[in-house]
Structure 1
Amino acid sequence: MKTKRLTKLGAVLSAALVLFSGILSVSAASVPQAVIDTDRKASVSLYKYDFTSAYADGVLGDNTYISTGYADENVENALMPYAIEGVVFSYAKIADLAVHAETKDGEHQNMLLYKLPGGDKTTALMNCLDLTSEDAYKTDRGDLYFTSDTLIDALSNHLNTAESQTKNALEAFIRQNGTSMPETDGTGHTSAAELEQGLYLFVETQVPETVSNTTAPFLLSLPMTSIDGMNWNYDVTVYPKNERTAPTLEKTLRESKADTGKNDGTDSITDGYAHTATGSIGDVIEYQILSTLPSITSRATSFSEYTYTDTLSAGLSYRKNDVRMEWFSDKSCTEESRVAVWTEQDGKFAVSYSALGDESVMRIKMTDAGLEELNNSDAVYDPNTSLYCGYSGCTMRITYTASVSATPVYGDIGNPNEVTLTWSRTNTAYSDTLTDDCHFYVYGLDLLKLFSDNLGDYSKVQFKLYNTTDSYWVTANSDDNGNYLVSGHAESEDDASVLTPGSSGHLFLKGLEDDIYRVTEINTDANYTLLGNFITVEIRAKESGKLCATCGKSGLTAEAFENGNAKDMNDDNGSASAIVPIRVMNTRGYRLPKTGDAGTTLLAAGGMTLAVLSAAAVALLLVFKKKDKFDD
C-alpha cells in the first residue's frame, strides 16, 4: 500500500509540475528569449511507454531521466521496446495567458494569471475541481483569473483524495469540450500541432486492453519555460507513464462427487479442482474457470469486452443452462469473500453453443448489464475515496458441468479442454487473449478369456465389474462382439451389466477412471470350472512429467496392478498407458457319469456281492445244522 501511494503521489506531483514549469523564473534569459512570441503556434508530443515492465526489467528507475519538456532521444531509444500503441489523449484549451499588473500595498507588481472565460465550459471544469468564483484571483466582466497555485492545488488535492472520481469527471468534461489526438502509434507517439497559446488540460480517454491505470490528468502551459529558466519552449514533449496489467486465467476440473465436508466460510470453495482429472464414461465433470480482473481506475480503463470461448474434446458434452458466475474480493474464493453471484437468468452474461468438428464450443460473453456492474459497482470500493472502481482486482469464478458421453481418447494423450479469454478496454480496436486448459483422462480394460483346451464356448462366459473405490457396479453398452463402452453406474448388482467376450475371446471395456475394480466371472462354459474368486484390478494415475504446451503443467500417465502385482499397460491408437490387459483361464471340469451308466454297474456289483454273501450264509447254516445233528 505504501508503494502504491507513493506512486500515486508521484503521478499527481508530476502532473502539477508540468504547469509549474511554465512559470519558472526567467530572470537569466535575454530580452528576446524572455518575451513570449505571441504570434507563434505551439505543439505537444506525447510518448506512451509501459513503465511497469520497464521498471521490472531494470531499464527504468526513479532517477533514470528528468522530464524537461524537450524530446530525449536516449529515453526514446531505451523505452522503445515498451511503447504502448492505441492510447488516445484528448485536450482542451481552458485559459488564456494573461499578464496582470497591479499596485498592492504601495508596490507595483506584475504576475502571470490564467484567464478562464465565463460560460458553461468554465463552469463545468470548475465543478470538476470544486472551484468557485471566490477562488479566483480576480474577476473581470465574467472572466475568471486564477493563479497557477490555485489550479495546481485544486487538481492535486482532488487526485490525491479521490483519484478515480476526479479522472471520471475530467474524462467526461474533455469528451464534451475537448479534441482527441490520434492514437499512439507503434513507437508510442502521438502529437497535436498548431495550437493556440494558453493553458491546456490533457486527459487520457481511451486505452488498449493491457492499460490498467491511466496517466493522471495534467495541465500544460503552452509555451512553457525551459528547465534552465532561460527560454520559452513552444514544442513540448511529454513522457507520461502508464501502469499495465493483464487478467489471469486458470481452468481446472474434478469428477463430480458428493461433498460431505463442512465449510465454515473460511475454506476455499475451489478446493478439489486440479489441472488434471480422470473419470468414467457416464460421469459428470465439474469445470471451473478463474480469472482475476485487472485494475479499473476510471471510465477510460473500463472494459468493453470480457468473453470466454470454452472448448470440450470429443466425447464430452455440455450440460446446458448451468453456467454460474461468482465474484470474490480476493483470490482465496471463500464464502466470506464472495461479492456477487450471477446466473444465466440474471442477464449479466449470455451463453451460446456451437460445434467445431467433433468438439463442442461454449461462448460466455458479458452483456452490457454485466459490463456496467463489472466496471462501476461500488460493492467493493468506496466510490468517494478509492482509486479503484467496480470489481477491479476481484476474482471471477465460472463453473459449469459436462457429461462424459462418448468415446474419448484413452491413455496418456488425454482429452484437453481449452478456454480462451478475450478482453478489450475503451479502445475497442485493441484486444488481447489468454488461453489455459485442463486435461481429462480415461482408461480401459482388455480381458482375454482362455480355455485350457481351446475348445470352450466364449458366448457362455459372463463377467461383472464392481468399483470398490466409489462403491458402484459398472453398466456398459455393447456392439455384441465383446466391445463395451461404460455407460454409467448402478447401485445394485441386479442392475450391473453382464459382460461377455467376443468371438476372439477378448472383452474390451473402455471408459474407466483410475480406481480399484473387482472383476468377477459369474458364468462359464459348462465343461469348465469357474474362476472361483474375483480379480482385483487397480488403475493408478500419476503425473507424467510431460508439460502441456498451453499451460506448462504436467499431464498424467497411469500404472496398473492385478491382485497387487504391477503390470504393463497397453497403448490405444498410439496413446500409452491406456488399457489394462488381464487373462482369465478356465480348465476342464470333472465330468459326472451319465444316468444309468455308473448306477447300473454299481447295482450289478452290489447284486453279485449279495449272492456271494447269501451262499455263504446258507453254507454256514447247513454246517450248524449238521453239527446239531451229531450232537444229538
Structure 2
Amino acid sequence: MRISKTMKRMASASLSAAMMMTAAAPVVTSLPVMAASSANTNNNTADTKDLAHADVIDMSKTGSITVHKYDITSAEAAGAYTMGQYKATGQTDMRVENALSKYAIQGVQFTYLRLGNVEQYSNTTADGSQLKVVYEIPTALADILKLSEADATVMTGDGISTPCTNTGVLHYTSTQINDALDAILKADDVAAKNALESYLLDYATQSTDGDDKQAADTGVLETDANGIASKDKLALGLYLMVETKVPEQVTSTVNPFFVSLPFTNTTADDNAETDHAADGVTDKIGGEKWVYDYVAYPKNQTGNPTIDKAVRNAYSSDSAHKNDKVTTTEGTNYSGTNDSTSLIVYNKDTASDNKADTSDTAYIANRGGYTGEGNNVAGKDGKGYSNDYKYDDTTTASEGDLLDYRIVSKLPHITSKATYLSQYTFTDALSTGITYNQESFKIAFYDNKADAEANNTNAAKEIWDLKDNKHQAAFATVSVDDGDGSEKVTANKATVKLTEKGLNQINGVNIKGAGNPYEAGDAKAGYSDYYMVLYYTATVNSDATVTLGDKGNVNDVSLVWSRTNNKYSNSLQDRNYVYSYGIDLTKTFSDNKGDATKVQFKLYNKTDAYYVIAKKGEDGLYYVTGKTTDKAQGTTFTPAATGRLYIKGLEGDKYQLTEVATDDGYSLLKDQGIIDVHETKRDLKASVAGTTGLEPAVADAIIKNYGTGIKNEDGQLVNAASTDIGGKAVAGPANETANGRTIGKTDMYEGDIQAATATMDGKPCTMLTSSTGDTSSPNAEIKMAIQNDKSPRIPLTGGQGMVVMLVAGVGLVVGGTYIAKKKKEDSVAC
C-alpha cells in the first residue's frame, strides 16, 4: 500500500526536526497532522487558521533531505561553536552555516530508508470510535527498537474502517517509536547504532514480501567538500536516517534519527512568539506551514592515531646468541594475556638469569646489561640504567648486532560500526645495511603509554605472534621484500597489514565468541584508544652495505589508516637512524723494512666490557660480527702487507687497541691506544595528523584545545615544539585552506646532525669520510698511524760481550732507560 494512496484518506504525523540536530538522544515534540490532498498548489503558504487550506498537505509534491556535516571537535576547539548553541528547526539556518563552514567534513555517508506508509487508525466499537495516526514499522526494525508486537496497533478487524493487510509490518504511534529509539540509545548507544546501521546496510537482501521491500525508497547520501549531501524527489512518508560510513578522522557518529516528509515548521527560538527576522531564519513563528525540504546540521567528533618508531641495540655479550628471540610459545596456540618471557630479546651476560621482568630491578637488569662478571649494577660502566638499551630515535651499533625496533601507535577512538577501521597498515623500510629477522614480528596491545613505549610485554593485554605457525598470524600479514615486490634474503622493506580478522579484534567485532557482534557487552570489547606496538628485530650486516659515519643507516616507517569510507585515508611517518664507525689504521716501521703481516692487534670495548669479533673480508679488511668476554675468542687483527688495516662496523664507544705482536726485531707499543668514539646525534619527531578546519587564523586555539591538545611524540604542542638538541624551534602545521578534509599536518621533523667525534688518548682525532655505493658519509672512520721502531741491540754473551756487561754495569741501567725510551717513542698518531 503506497503512501500516495493512503494519505488521501487519513490524518497523519511527522517526527520532529529537533530530534536530529545533535548526536544526543531524540527530543520529542508534538507532531504535525496530514490532511486530505488539495488541488491548491499554494496551500502550504495559506493564511494561518484558514481551515480550507492551512492543514492540507499537497500529495502531488515530493520531499528532499539535505545534510550539512561538521567537525564539532575542531569547531569547539577553535571557539567557533558550542554544541546545542542553536535550536534545530529542520530548515536552513545561516547562523550555523556561517559559523561552521570551515569545519565541513567530506566523505560522510548517510543511508536513508523509507520505513513505510503513514496510516490512520479508525476503529468503531460499542464503546465508541477511536482515531489516531500510526506508522508502519518493519518487524525486523521493531525488534531492534524493542517494540513488542503486543503493543502494536492492530489494523485488521470488523471495526477497522480501512484495514491494512500488508505483511511483515507492525503499526505504532510516533510517541511509541520516539520513546523506543530514545530508550535503546540511552541503554547502549553503540550497540543500538550498530544494529540500526546493519539493518539499513542489509536492507537490500531482506524479504521481498509486502512493503518490507521497497528498494526505490532507500539510498545513500555522501557529503562533498562543503560537507553537504542532498537527495530530492523523495516520496512523502517516514524515513530512518543512519550515518553508515565515515572518513578516517571521524570517531563518533550522530545518533540515528527519523525524518517525516513533510513536516510542520518550528521556531528557531525557544520562545514561539519571537520574530525570526534577526536570527537568519526565514519563518517568523513556528507552526505556520508544511515544509517539504528537510535540512539537518548533525555534528561529528573527530580524532586521529599517532606513530612513534624507536630502536635500541639489543645487547648480547656473546655473538653466538645475538639472534636469540623469544619462542616459548612455539607450536602452541595463544593462550594467555601476555608473553611470559616478556622480551623479544634479552641480555646474555653471565650475570643475568634471563628471566622475565618480574620487578623494576629485573626490568632494568634485563634491558641494561652488566659491565662484567659478578657486577650486578646494570648499565654502562656500572652506573645505573644504560641508555644503550633504551628505545630512542637513534642508536649506535656494531655490525652483527641485533637491533630491537618498536613502533608505537595510539589507536584512534572507535565507537559504532560506522567508525570501524577498514585499514591499518605499516610500511617499514630499512637501509640496505640492515636485514630483517623475518620471523621476529609481533604486535602487542597496551592500555597505557608507559608500558607501550618500554615494550614491557609482561603488561600487554594481548600479543600477536606473526610467525607462520602461530594462529595469531591470521590477524596480520607480514610481507618482506626488497622494495620491488620480490622476496630476497637482503630484503629491506616490510609491510605489516592487518587482516579482516585483525581489524575485527581492534574494532571489537565478535569478541569472546559472541554470535551477534552488536550485543552491548561485546561491541566495546575491542582496542579503541589502546596503544598498539609493532615490534621486530633486525641485524646489522657484517659487510660493505653498512653506511659508516654521520650519514647513518636510515629506517623509515609509514602508517596508513582508513575507516568505513575507505575512499579516504591518511598517513603518518617516522624515522630512525643507526650509526656505526670504523678504524682506518696505517702500520709503519721506522726503517721501512718491517713486515706488517706479522703485526697483531686486539680490540677491546671498554664501555661494555667485551672483545670485538670480526670476519676477514680480505687482507687488512675486517667486518665486525660479534662480541665476547673471552679474550681468546676475540679476533686478532692483522694489517695487509701494505700496512693498512680497516676495522669496519664499530658502535660509538670507548675502545682499547692493544698491539699484541709485531715483526721480529721491532718494539711493541708500551700501552694500549684509547680510542673514544662519540656517536652521531640527531633529533627526530614523527609527523602528527592535523584536523578539519586547521587554518592559520585558528590554528593556535585548535592545537591547544583539540582534546588534550595536538602534540608530538615528546608531548609538545606542535605549534610550540623545540628540538632536544640545541632547543631550536620546530616547524608547526602546514599552512592550508579548509577543504572538507583533514589539513594542517605537521610533517616529520629531522633536525641538524650533531656530528660524531673521536679522541685518541684524550686528544681530538681526525675522522675520515667514507663511501658506500653512491653515499658519502663524513666522520666515518678514525684515522690512525702506528709506527714500530727497531728494538735495542743486545750484546752477545761470553767473550768481550761479558766483559762489557761486567765492566759497564752502570751502562746496563742506562741501556734500560734507553730501551724504555725507545718503546715510548714508538708512536700512535691520529
- Same fold by TM-score, threshold 0.5 exceeded? yes
Equivalent-residue separation in structure 2 for 1:52 and 1:433 (angstroms):
20
- The residue type paired with residue 149 of structure 2 is S
Report if the CA contact (8 A) 2:185-2:192 is conserved: yes
Task: Give, in angstroms, the shift of residue 203 of structure 1.
Answer: 0.8
Equivalent-residue separation in structure 2 for 1:272 and 1:292 (angstroms):
20
- CA 1:20–1:583: 2 relative to 1, 3 Å: farther
- The residue type paired with residue 393 of structure 2 is H
Q: How many residues were matched structurally?
A: 588
Task: Report SS of the residue matched to 2:793.
Answer: coil
- The residue type paired with residue 480 of structure 1 is E
Aligned match for 1:355, one of 454, 457, 482: 482
Task: Report SS of the residue matched to 1:356.
Answer: coil
User: Does 1:177 pair with 2:203?
Assistant: yes
Task: Report SS of the residue matched to 1:243.
Answer: strand
- CA 1:184–1:604: 2 relative to 1, 3 Å: closer
User: Does 1:88 pair with 2:73?
Assistant: no
Alignment partner, residue 560 of structure 1:
758
Give the percent of matched residue pairs that are identical in Structure 1 and Structure 2. Answer: 35
Equivalent-residue separation in structure 2 for 1:434 and 1:189 (angstroms):
28
- Pairs within 5 Å for 1:207-218: 207-218=246-257
- CA 1:239–1:52: 2 relative to 1, 3 Å: same
Report if the CA contact (8 A) 1:95-1:114 is conserved: no
User: Does 1:222 pair with 2:358?
Assistant: no
Report if the CA contact (8 A) 1:348-1:367 is conserved: yes
- Pairs within 5 Å for 1:360-371: 360-371=492-503
- The residue type paired with residue 437 of structure 2 is R
Equivalent-residue separation in structure 1 for 2:448 and 2:179 (angstroms):
35
User: Does 1:343 pair with 2:461?
Assistant: no
Alignment partner, residue 61 of structure 1:
82
Equivalent-residue separation in structure 1 for 2:54 and 2:203 (angstroms):
33
Task: Report SS of the residue matched to 2:193.
Answer: helix
Alignment partner, residue 159 of structure 2:
none
User: Does 1:331 pair with 2:528?
Assistant: no
Aligned match for 1:401, one of 532, 537, 562: 537
Task: Report SS of the residue matched to 1:592.
Answer: coil
Task: Report SS of the residue matched to 1:526.
Answer: coil
Task: Report SS of the residue matched to 2:582.
Answer: strand
- The residue type paired with residue 397 of structure 1 is V
Alignment partner, residue 154 of structure 1:
180
Alignment partner, residue 131 of structure 1:
147
Report if the CA contact (8 A) 1:97-1:115 is conserved: yes
Equivalent-residue separation in structure 1 for 2:359 and 2:527 (angstroms):
21
- The residue type paired with residue 26 of structure 2 is A
Provide, for residues 516-564 of structure 1, a one-character-per-residue CA deviation record: whole Å limited to 9, x for no partner.
2110011223332110221222223364458788643656643323233
Equivalent-residue separation in structure 2 for 1:528 and 1:250 (angstroms):
55
Task: Give, in angstroms, the shift of residue 354 of structure 1.
Answer: 0.9
- Pairs within 5 Å for 1:169-318: 169-177=195-203, 179-228=218-267, 229=286, 230-257=288-315, 258-259=346-347, 260=352, 263-264=357-358, 272-318=390-436
Report if the CA contact (8 A) 1:326-1:338 is conserved: yes
Equivalent-residue separation in structure 2 for 1:546 and 1:293 (angstroms):
21
Task: Give, in angstroms, the shift of residue 448 of structure 1.
Answer: 3.2
User: Does 1:320 pair with 2:438?
Assistant: yes
Report if the CA contact (8 A) 1:450-1:586 is conserved: yes
Calculate the TM-score normalised by the size of structure 2: 0.64
Calculate the TM-score normalised by the size of structure 1: 0.83
Task: Report SS of the residue matched to 1:413.
Answer: coil
Report if the CA contact (8 A) 2:135-2:173 is conserved: no
Aligned match for 2:607, one of 452, 469, 482: 469
Task: Give, in angstroms, the shift of residue 308 of structure 1.
Answer: 1.5
> Which consecutive residues of structure 1, in runs of 5 or more, have no partner in the other structure?
1-7, 607-632
Alignment partner, residue 43 of structure 1:
64
Equivalent-residue separation in structure 1 for 2:307 and 2:685 (angstroms):
18
Task: Report SS of the residue matched to 1:372.
Answer: helix
Provide, for residues 73-113 of structure 1, a one-character-per-residue CA deviation record: whole Å limited to 9, x for no partner.
55445534433222221111224345667999x999976x3
Task: Report SS of the residue matched to 2:492.
Answer: strand
- CA 1:352–1:452: 2 relative to 1, 3 Å: same
Task: Give, in angstroms, the shift of residue 451 of structure 1.
Answer: 3.3
Task: Give, in angstroms, the shift of residue 37 of structure 1.
Answer: 2.0
Structure 1, 159-168 or 408-417: larger mean CA deviation: 408-417
Task: Report SS of the residue matched to 2:26.
Answer: helix
Q: What root-mean-square deviation, in Å, do the aligned CA atoms of Structure 1 and Structure 2 show?
A: 3.7
Equivalent-residue separation in structure 1 for 2:627 and 2:99 (angstroms):
64
Task: Give, in angstroms, the shift of residue 151 of structure 1.
Answer: 1.6
Report if the CA contact (8 A) 1:44-1:237 is conserved: yes
User: Does 1:116 pair with 2:136?
Assistant: yes
User: Does 1:447 pair with 2:644?
Assistant: no
Report if the CA contact (8 A) 1:163-1:386 is conserved: no
Task: Report SS of the residue matched to 1:246.
Answer: coil
- CA 1:563–1:454: 2 relative to 1, 3 Å: same
Provide, for residues 106-164 of structure 1, a one-character-per-residue CA deviation record: whole Å limited to 9, x for no partner.
999976x33216xxxx1111100111134346655467543333222211221121111
Q: Which has the larger radius of gyration?
A: 1
Equivalent-residue separation in structure 2 for 1:443 and 1:135 (angstroms):
81
Report if the CA contact (8 A) 2:21-2:298 is conserved: no
Structure 1, 385-394 or 49-58: larger mean CA deviation: 385-394
Report if the CA contact (8 A) 1:355-1:361 is conserved: yes
Report if the CA contact (8 A) 1:377-1:391 is conserved: no
Report if the CA contact (8 A) 1:306-1:423 is conserved: yes
- The residue type paired with residue 460 of structure 2 is R
Provide, for residues 235-255 of structure 1, a one-character-per-residue CA deviation record: whole Å limited to 9, x for no partner.
111121122222222211111
Alignment partner, residue 320 of structure 2:
none
Equivalent-residue separation in structure 2 for 1:469 and 1:123 (angstroms):
75
Equivalent-residue separation in structure 2 for 1:154 and 1:570 (angstroms):
78
Structure 1, 42-51 or 177-186: larger mean CA deviation: 177-186
